Amino acid sequence: MRITLTSVMVDDQEKALRFYTEVLGFRKKLDIPVGGPYRWITVTSPEGPEGVELALEPNANPAARTFQQAMFDQKIPLAAFECRDLQAEFERLRGRGVAFTQEPTRSGPVIVAVFADTCGNLIQLHQPA
């Protein structure tokens, strides 16, 4: 058994696709209409395009929106991405206008930073210290 897909809920799939590809640098893998305004959209890391896919799920369900907002309000990231050089990634993303809620900080065996993805989520970046 292995993990091949995980997801984040987003308030706007098109905005999320732009952010995750144009700002973060992920690559679109799938973009399939699934009825109405919804699409099955996944992105992958350019460092592992055949690896884990991240689905950009619409938060149309009221329970999903409530959960997403509660996690954001409690400052709890809904996903975490590993970086080889967190400081360089922090500088690159900050230069692209990404709003960080936590700058790179050592936390035990890792260095972490947290940013808002513009789609209702906090995302953690981490690097082994």
Enter the tokens of residue 74.
């409690």
Check residue 70 and give its pLDDT.
Answer: 97
CATH of the domain at 40: 3.10.180.10
Check residue 33 and give its pLDDT.
Answer: 96
pLDDT for 36-75, tens place per residue?
Answer: 899 999 999 999 888 999 999 999 999 999 999 999 999 9
Provide the domain limits for residue 74: 5-128
Q: Is the per-residue pLDDT at 129 higher than 90?
A: no
The whole-number average pLDDT for the span 67-91 is: 97
Mean pLDDT (the chain) is 96
Round to whole Å and give the CA distance between 76 and 93.
Answer: 20
- Quickly tell me which residue has 């960080």 as its tokens: 100
Check residue 49 and give its pLDDT.
Answer: 82
- Quickly tell me which residue has 């936590």 as its tokens: 102
The count of domains in the chain is 1
Mention every residue, 6+ apart, whose C-beta is less than 8 A from residue 84: 127
| Bridge partners for 105 per DSSP | 112
Alpha-carbon distance values, 13 to 88, 92, 108, 119 (Å): 28, 24, 35, 8
Task: Give the dihedral sign, CA 116/59/82/77.
Answer: positive
The whole-number average pLDDT for the span 110-125 is: 98
Mention every residue, 6+ apart, whose C-beta is less than 8 A from residue 111: 86, 87, 104, 105, 126, 127, 128, 129
